[in-house]
């Protein structure tokens, strides 16, 4: 058994019903050996990049909304939407998800994406003289069938 399959055994116990996305195959390369495969649709990727370009002086943040799926090769995360971290406390070298940020995120999730759950978060690092903004996307380490869970 390859490493990703072993990792999915632990995920499977914590995920609950992760078959909600149906029999969708992972859209990336077959046989990928990553510990967790992530599929990011074009529209949320474009939204994430547009969000970052709006503020080159301050860090920005948000969450990735999607579903946890499984195919014959194991579990993968399918990111279908991005929700911006409105009302975050931010500066040139930090960003903090405030209670108002989480309220906005959950209201947006309920209203616009009721079938999705939070599967990760993102934030930017701003421009310096030597590099373009770097991106960090961190995927939930503790998956929960309850999308209201804030366990990260």
Read off the pLDDT of residues 11-63 as tens digits, 9 standing for 90 and up. 555 554 555 566 678 888 888 878 888 999 999 999 999 998 888 888 889 99
- How confident is the model at residue 71, as a pLDDT? 86
Instruction: Say whether pLDDT at 147 is over 50.
Output: no
11 lies in some domain: yes
Q: What is the mean pLDDT of residues 62-67?
A: 94
Q: Does 149 map to a domain?
A: no
CATH for 115: 3.40.140.10
Residue 114 falls inside a structural domain: yes
Q: Domain for residue 147, yes or no?
A: no
pTM for this predicted structure: 0.72
Which residues have C-beta within 8 Å of that of residue 132, sequence separation ≥ 6?
A: none
Residue 152 falls inside a structural domain = no
H/E stretch holding 79 reads strand 74-84
Q: How many domains does the chain have?
A: 1
So what's the pLDDT on residue 112? 97
Q: Quick check: is 129 in a domain?
A: yes
The verdict on residue 92 lying in a domain is yes
Structure tokens at 89: 């406390």
CA distances from 68 to 36, 92, 110, 128, 134 (A): 11, 33, 18, 36, 26
Is pLDDT above 70 for 139?
Answer: no
Using pLDDT thresholds of 50, 70 and 90, give the confidence band for residue 137. Answer: very low
Say if 59 falls within a structural domain.
Answer: yes
Q: What is the mean pLDDT of residues 106-116?
A: 96
Give residue 54's domain range. 3-26+33-139
Please tell me which residue, 112 or 139, carries the higher pLDDT value: 112
CA angle 121/57/106 to nearest 5° reads 30
């Amino acid at each position: 058994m390859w490493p990703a399959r072993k990792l999915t055994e632990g995920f499977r116990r914590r995920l609950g019903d992760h078959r909600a996305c149906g029999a969708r195959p992972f859209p990336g390369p077959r046989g990928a050996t990553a510990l967790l495969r992530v599929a990011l649709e074009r529209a949320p990727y474009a939204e994430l990049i547009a969000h970052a370009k709006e503020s080159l002086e301050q860090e920005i943040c948000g969450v990735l909304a999607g579903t946890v799926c499984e195919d014959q090769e194991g579990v993968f995360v399918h990111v279908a939407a991005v929700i911006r971290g409105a009302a975050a406390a931010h500066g040139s070298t930090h960003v903090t998800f405030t209670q108002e940020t989480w309220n906005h995120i959950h209201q947006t999730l309920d209203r616009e994406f009721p079938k999705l759950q939070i599967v990760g978060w993102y934030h930017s690092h701003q421009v310096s003289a030597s590099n373009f903004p770097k991106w960090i996307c961190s995927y939930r380490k503790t998956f929960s069938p309850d999308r209201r869970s804030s366990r990260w």
